[in-house]
Chain A
Amino acid sequence: AQKVTQAQTEISVVEKEDVTLDCVYETRDTTYYLFWYKQPPSGELVFLIRRNSFDEQNEISGRYSWNFQKSTSSFNFTITASQVVDSAVYFCALSGNSGGSNYKLTFGKGTLLTVNP
């Protein structure tokens, strides 16, 4: 069975602070993908990044960066110089390659990030 744990339920920061959202996953699949999605107050789900299990390179996209560490089964997400518009619920998700797990995303419970001006 697959599992995604986002231990931080809520995080509150002041604008311009850096913030890291943690994600720990469990899977028995040898090949899998990890994702982050953003859900702003308006409610839609916005895709941010996909990372496959063979690629442990960190990725940076503007103020966003992701740190994938297979040894600790973690895929953490850092926002640098946070802005009020970053306020949202962020979901980490996992897709595997067996038992139909490639046909679904297993989501963590989400982290509510509030960036205060």
Chain B
Amino acid sequence: DTAVSQTPKYLVTQMGNDKSIKCEQNLGHDTMYWYKQDSKKFLKIMFSYNNKELIINETVPNRFSPKSPDKAHLNLHINSLELGDSAVYFCASSHPSSSASLYNEQFFGPGTRLTVL
């Protein structure tokens, strides 16, 4: 009964390849996010989706393309992988569907450690 799940947990690939990370939440939330945690542990928002609509794209390169087929899923596809893409990617979800609950806590997935060789 995992709340936010991500697959795969580890991803090792060569530079120039295309890869995808999947995220699913079973919490009934309507907002999902992708964060990147770099080697210095710094966490930064990449994208947020609300009801399958893109809300935030935080100056992420076009090589990163999120896709939300439904409210429970937000997948991240990365084209032409570069060395600098190596990081841990966290998916999260929350339920800010009303002004009263706009600031609910975000629940994070376990993370996907991407290593680009």
| Contact of B23 with A by CB under 8 A | no
Which of A33, A44, A91, A105 contacts B110, CB < 8 Å?
Answer: A44
| Contact of A100 with B by CB under 8 A | yes
Whether B50 lies near A103 (C-beta < 8 A) is yes
Residues of B in contact with A, size category: 20 to 34
- Give the interface of B toward A (CB within 8 A): 31, 33, 35, 40-45, 48, 50, 55-56, 58, 88, 90, 92, 96, 102-108, 110-111, 113
- Give the interface of A toward B (CB within 8 A): 32-33, 35, 37, 39, 43-45, 47, 50, 52, 89, 91, 95, 97, 100, 102-107, 109-110, 112
A44-B110, A44-B111 are known contacts. Are A100 and B55 too (CB-CB below 8 A)? yes
* Chain B residues within an 8 Å CB radius of A50: 103-105
Whether A95 lies near B103 (C-beta < 8 A) is yes
Q: Which of A95, A104, A110 neighbours the largest number of chain B CB atoms within 10 Å of its CB?
A: A104
* Chain A residues within an 8 Å CB radius of B48: 100, 103-104
Whether A47 lies near B103 (C-beta < 8 A) is no
Whether B108 lies near A102 (C-beta < 8 A) is no
Whether A43 lies near B55 (C-beta < 8 A) is no
* Chain B residues within an 8 Å CB radius of A91: 43
* Chain B residues within an 8 Å CB radius of A95: 103
* Chain B residues within an 8 Å CB radius of A35: 105
CB distance from B1 to the nearest CB of A (A): 16
Considering the complex, give the chain A residue whose CB is closest to the CB of B103: A33
CB distance from B106 to the nearest CB of A (A): 6
Can you list 8 A-B pairs with a CB-CB distance of less than 8 A? A43-B113, A44-B110, A50-B104, A100-B48, A102-B102, A107-B42, A110-B41, A110-B43
Complex CA distance for A30 and B42, rounded to whole angstroms:
26
Considering the complex, give the chain B residue whose CB is closest to the CB of A93: B43
Q: Which of B31, B107, B108 neighbours the largest number of chain A CB atoms within 10 Å of its CB?
A: B108
